[in-house]
Structure 1
Amino acid sequence: MEKSNPVVIVGGGPSGTAAAALLGKYRIPSVIIDEAPKIGGVIYRGPLRKTATLPHLDDNLQRAMSALRRRYENYKSFIELKLQTRVLGPEGKQSLLLNEGGGLTTQKYDELILATGCHERSIPFPGWQLPGVMLLGGVQLQIKSGLVKPGTKMALVGTGPLLPLVACQLHKAGVNVIGVYEASAFNKLAKEAVALLNKPKLTLSGLSMMSYLKKHQIPFYYGYGVVNAQGDAHLERVTVAPYDQYWRADLSQAKSIEVDAIGVGYGFVARTQLAMLLGLEHTYTKVSGYIPVLSSEFESNQTKTYVVGDSTGLLGADAAICEGQIAALNIVKQRGILSATEAKKEQAKIARKHARIKRFRFGFDRFSERQSGLLELAQDDTVVCRCEQATKRQLEQAISEGVKDLTTLKMRTRIGMGDCQGKTCSSFALDLLHQAGHNKDTGVIKPRFPLDPIPFTFMEESLNEQV
C-alpha cells in the first residue's frame, strides 16, 4: 500500500497543536508550519525570551500554556515542526510554497488543516496612525512575548472580554493604566447572564479581573469610547466620550486624557487569505468577516481540507482546541484507524463542549456587536488604507457615485493594493458599503499570490540552481 504523506497543519496555535497531538495519539505523523519561533499561537506562545518570573500572566493562562506544551511533548515523535516558516500560497495540486530557512521550498500533502487564526479589526479615527496608538492584541503580544511595556501611562478603548484581561496584565507588568473604556452599556451585558453561565469558570475569572481592577483603582467605564488621538511626533493625549446605543460619541461630554500609549480593541477578523487562495467556499458574517463554509467535522468544500480555530469564527482558544480535535478524528476515521461509529462517539463528546463554548461566546458577541457609530469616528481626511493612503472621503465619494462592491471600490480608490492586501482596510470599507445599503454581492478583496513578498535574492538563488 502506498505510504500517505504526513497531515500538513498550517498554524501552531491551540487548534493546530491539538490536531497534531490527537493525530499523534493514533500514530499519524503531521507537520506543523508556523511563522513564529515557538508553537502556541498568539494566545499561548508565551515569552520569546527567558524571564525569571511571569508576573504579568495570570495563573489560568500559565496553566493553559503548560497544557498546550504537554500536549505537544506527549506526541512530539509524530510531529515535525517547521517554525519561522511562512506559507506563500498553493504550488500546483496539493502542495504549498513555503518561505523556509531563507529560501523557497514546497510541502506536499494528502490532508491539510488550516489553523491560521485571526487578525485585528482596524477602526480608523483621527490620529489612529500616531506612534503609541496600538491594537489591543499587539499590546498583549508585547507584554506576553517579551515583557515589553508598550507605554508607561495607558488607556484601553474598545469592547469585549479582552479589555479587562489586558488591563490586568498591563498593571501587573508595571504600566499605569488610567482607564478602561468599554463601548457597550453594562445593562446590555447583564442581559447575557444566561449565556455566560455556559462557562461558569470563565465568567468567574472575568469577575475576578473586574475585582482586581477595582482593588487597584483602575476605573472601568461602560458606554464610553475613543473619539480621536492627538500628538506631534507621537501620541500625547486621547479624547474619549460617552457612546449611545449606536456607539455615536456625545462630544458635549468628551474629555481629553494625557497618555503615551493606548490599546484599541474593536474585535477581530478571521484570517482566511490562504483558504481563499486555495479556492475554498466562504460566507460573510458580521462578527468574523468572511469565513469558510464547513461541515460539522470542519471539512471544507475541498475534500480532505479542513479549517479550524479562529479562522472559522471567533470562539476563542478552548473552542479552537475542540475544532482541531474534531477535524483530526475525521482524518483518523478516513485512514481506517477508527470506525465511523467510534469516531462519531469521540467527536460527539467534543462537540457538546464546543456547543457550550459557542453559546457562551455568542453572548459576548451580542454584547459587543459592532455599531454604526464607529464609522462616524473617521473624518473626511482620515486615512483608511495605510498602504495606499486612501481616505474616507475617497471611499464615500466612490460609493456615492455608484460603487456597490469591494472589487470596484479597490479599482477606484486603490484600497487593498498594498502589501497587507486589504487586511487593514477591507473590513471598514465593507461596513461603509453595508451602511450605504449594498448588502448583496459586495464581494471580497481577493488575496494575491504570493501572500508575502518574495525577496529578489530567493529568485536569484533559484535561477542559479537551475543554471
Structure 2
Amino acid sequence: MTTSPAERPGTRYDIAVLGAGPAGLAAAVAAAGQGAGTVLIDAGARPGGQYWRHREGDEGALHHGWGHFRRLRRGLSAHGADYRPGHCVWHVERTEAGFTVHATREGSPRTVRAKAVIVATGAYDRQLPFPGWTTPGVFTAGAVQALLKGHGVPAGRRIAVAGTGPFLLPVAAGLAEAGVRVVGVFEAGLPTAFGRHPLATLRNLPKLAEGAGYLGTLLRHRVPYRTRTTVVAAHGTATVTGATVARLDQRWRIVPGSTREIDCDTVAVGYGFTPQTEIPLQLGCAMRRDADGSLVARVDARQRASVDGVYVAGEACGVGGAQLSAVEGELAGLHAGYATTGSAPDRRRLAGLLRRRAAQRSFAAALHRAYPVPDGWQTWLERDTTVCRCEEVTAGAIREAVDDLGATDPRAVKLYARPGMGLCQGRVCGYATTCLVARANGRRPTAEDLRGMATRPIAHPLTLGALAAGDDSGGDDSGGG
C-alpha cells in the first residue's frame, strides 16, 4: 500500500475516493487500475472501514471476507494509488477544474484537488430512543463490535443485544466467541418473513450460509435468540444494572403483560443504519428516501450522481452490506476511470459486475422488507424520554413543538426545540426526530423531512483554527502529511 508517494505542490488527481471501506477500497483499486491518478482519503488509521476494522497485526480472526480485503489492499499498492489515512474530510466544493476536498489531519488543514469524486462514506448505526438509553453502558451495536474488532476490548461482561436486522447476529456471535456472556439476542422483527422472497434467497445462498454460521455460534454458546422481542428500557444511574424486554405485536407495540427484567451490565442496540450523506448533500446531489426509510443519493447504472463528476457507492446510495458496497465501488471506480482517462470500457467485466449488483440489490431489498421499522416504537417513549442527547430534548418537547407551536416539519421543530443543534448535529437523533414529527402531523416521513435533519455544511468537526487556516502549505494541492 502506498501512502502519499507524490507529496509535491501542484499535484492534481484524476479521482479522489472518500472512504476506505469495502466500497472505497474497491473504487480506488478499480480506478487506479485504469491508469487514473487516484487518491484514497479516509479518517481511519488503517483501511477497511467499519466492516474490516482491525488492530495492527490482526489477520482477520473476527472478520468475514478477510481474503477479499487483503486482495484489495494489495491492489491499492500494486496500482500506485495514493492512500491518505487519518484525513477527516469536512467539506467538498465544486470548482472550474473539478473538485476541492477539504480535510484535516491531526488538526491541520489538508486540501486535495481532483477531476472527479467518488463518495464512499458508508453508514453508522441507526438508533431509536427508549427510556434509559442515555445510561452509561448502552452502546450502539456497531460501537460494541468496533471495540472488539479494533481494540480487542469487550464492552461489558453480560451483554444484551437488541434491535432489528441481520447485523445483530455477527455482533452477538463475535462477543460470544470472545468469551462474553451474551444474555440474549432480542430481535424486534420476525426474520422468517424473509422466506417470502425466494428468488432473492436463491440468488444469494452464500449470505444465508453466513447467517446460519452466526446462528450456529449462538447455539453453541447457548445464547437465547428471541424474535418479536426487544429492549424497551434500560435501568441504572451511573451504569446499566439491567433492562426491560417486552414482546411486540406486528406494529411494534408492547404486548400487555409481556414485559420482564433481565440482568445485564451492557446493552448493544441497533435498528439498521443511517447513511452518511453530508458530502452528496453539500454538492447538491439529488436524493431519495430508500425502502428502509433512509435518505440516500440517487445514482444511475454507472453509479453517477446527478452532479457531473460525482459518483456514489456503498451505503450512501442505499444500505445493502459489504458485498454490494464492494461491487458498487468497483463499478464507480471503473466508470470514473474510463471518464477521466479515456480508456475503453471492459464490457465483459462490466456485465459481470452488473449481474452481481442486481443480485445483491434484490437481496438488500428483501432484507428491508423483512426487517421493517414500524412506528410502534414511539409508544415505548415516556414524555420525559430523551430524544436528542446533545441538547437534552425530550419526546414531550418535540410533540409540544408540533401541537402547541404548529411545527409541520423536522426543520421547524429543530428551530423551536433544538433537537439536532448539538455536537452531533442530528446524526444520532435525526431519524427519530423526523419520525416523531411526521407521526404527530399524521403522515409518513418524506425525503425532504430527512434532508432537513441531514444537511450539514461541515461533515466532520474541526477547530476554528483549522477553518481559518484555509489550504495547507499555502495552496499545496498534495495535502500530504
TM-score over 0.5 for the alignment? yes
Distance apart, 1:165 and its partner CA: 1.2
1:325-383 per-position Cα deviation (integer Å, ceiling 9, x unaligned): 111221232235433xx344432210100111111122211111111111222211011
Structure 1 CA distance, aligned partners of 2:150 and 2:254?
Answer: 34
Tell me how far apart the structure 2 counterparts of residues 327 and 92 of structure 1 sit (CA, whole Å).
Answer: 19
Other-structure match for 2:300: 295
SS of 1:6 mapped into structure 2: strand
In the other structure, the counterpart of 1:211 is 216
Q: Distance in 2 between matches of 1:110 and 1:68?
A: 23
Quick one: which amino acid aligns to residue 275 of structure 1?
P
1:269 maps to 2:274: yes
CA 1:187–1:42 in structure 2 vs 1: closer, same or farther (change >3 Å)?
closer
TM-fit CA distance, 1:314? 0.5
In 1, the alpha carbon distance for the partners of 2:197 and 2:28 equals 35
Task: Please tell me whether residue 232 in structure 1 is matched to residue 237 in structure 2.
Answer: yes
Q: Which whole-Å deviations, capped at 9, do the CAs of 1:236-282 have from their partners, x for residues lacking one? A: 10110111111112241211111111110111011101211122121
SS in 1 for 2:253: coil
Question: 2:152 & 2:136 partners in 1: Cα distance?
Answer: 19
Give the Cα separation in 1 of the matches to 2:127 and 2:454: 18
1:426 aligns with 2:434: no
**What are the ranges of 5 or more consecutive residues in structure 2 without an aligned counterpart?**
1-9, 475-481
> Is 2:412 aligned against 1:408?
yes
Map of 2:332 onto structure 1: 327
* TM-score normalised to structure 2 length: 0.89
Q: 281, 284, 287: which one pairs with 1:279?
A: 284
Aligned to 2:24: 16
Alignment partner of 1:158: what SS? Answer: strand
Bigger shift: residues 136-145 or 2-11: 2-11
2:85 counterpart residue number: 83
Aligned to 1:137: 142
CA distance in 1, matches of 2:351, 2:293: 25
Superposed counterparts of 1:9-408, under 5 Å: 9-47=17-55, 49-50=56-57, 57=62, 60-75=64-79, 77=80, 79-91=81-93, 93=95, 94-287=99-292, 289-335=294-340, 337-339=342-344, 342-401=345-404, 402-408=406-412
CA contact (8 A) 1:241 1:254 kept: yes
Secondary structure of the corresponding residue to residue 43 of structure 1: coil
Quote the RMSD (CA, aligned, Å).
Answer: 2.4
- Higher mean Cα deviation, 440-449 or 9-18? 440-449
Moved more, 309-318 or 392-401: 392-401
Q: Work out whether residues 94 and 283 of structure 2, in 8 Å CA contact, stay in contact via their aligned partners in 1.
A: no
**Contact 2:191-2:370 within 8 A present in 1 as well:** no
Cα gap change, 1:349/1:4 in structure 2, threshold over 3 Å: closer, same or farther?
A: farther
Contact 2:285–2:305 (CA under 8 A) maintained in structure 1:
yes
The amino acid that maps onto 1:121 is R
Q: Which amino acid aligns with 2:396?
A: R
Whole-Å separation in 1 of the counterparts to 2:206 and 2:291: 28
State how far apart, in whole Å, the 1-side matches of 2:326 and 2:353 are. 9
Structure 1 residue 286 displacement after superposition: 4.6
The whole-number CA distance in structure 2 between the counterparts of 1:363 and 1:26 is 34
Give the superposition deviation at 1:118: 0.8
Q: Are the aligned partners of 1:224 and 1:242 in contact in 2 as well (CA < 8 Å)? A: yes
The aligned counterpart of 2:479 is: none
Give the Cα separation in 1 of the matches to 2:12 and 2:140.
42
| 8 Å Cα contact 1:6/1:28 also seen in 2 | yes
The answer to whether the 8 Å contact 1:326/1:347 transfers is yes
Report the Cα distance in structure 2 between the residues aligned to 1:141 and 1:423, rounded to whole angstroms: 18
- CA distance in 2 between counterparts of 1:45 and 1:89 reads 24
Q: In 2, distance between residues paired with 1:80 and 1:288?
A: 36
- Three-state SS of the structure 1 residue aligned to 2:200 is helix
Higher relative contact order (CA 8 A, sep 6+): 2
Separation in 2, partners of 1:208, 1:134: 25
Give the letter for the 1:374 counterpart: W
**Per-residue Cα deviation, 1:379-435 (whole angstroms, up to 9, x for no partner):** 110111111111100111222243211211111111111121111111011112332
CA displacement, residues 169-192 of structure 1 (integer Å, 9 cap, x when unaligned): 001111011111111125423334
**Letter of the 1:219 counterpart:** P
Contact 2:320 2:361 in 1 (8 A): yes
> In 2 relative to 1, CA 459–326 (structure 1 residues): closer, same or farther, beyond 3 Å?
closer
- Structure 1 spans left out of the alignment, 5+ residues: none
Deviation at 1:438, TM superposition (A): 3.6
- The TM-score with structure 1 as length reference comes to 0.92
> Across the two proteins, how many residue pairs are aligned to each other?
457
Contact kept, 8 Å, 2:190 with 2:371, in 1: the verdict is no
> Does the CA contact (< 8 Å) of 1:89 and 1:278 recur in 2?
no
8 Å contact from structure 1 (residues 98, 105) kept in 2: yes
193-202 vs 248-257, greater mean Cα deviation: 193-202
Q: Which residue type is aligned with residue 13 of structure 2?
A: N
1:102, CA displacement in angstroms? 3.0
Q: 1:46 to 1:453 in 2, by over 3 A?
A: closer
Instruction: Tell whether the 8 Å contact from 1:384 to 1:390 is kept in structure 2 after alignment.
Output: yes
Which residue of 1 is the match for residue 463 of structure 2?
455
Distance across 2 between alignment mates of 1:200 and 1:447? 38
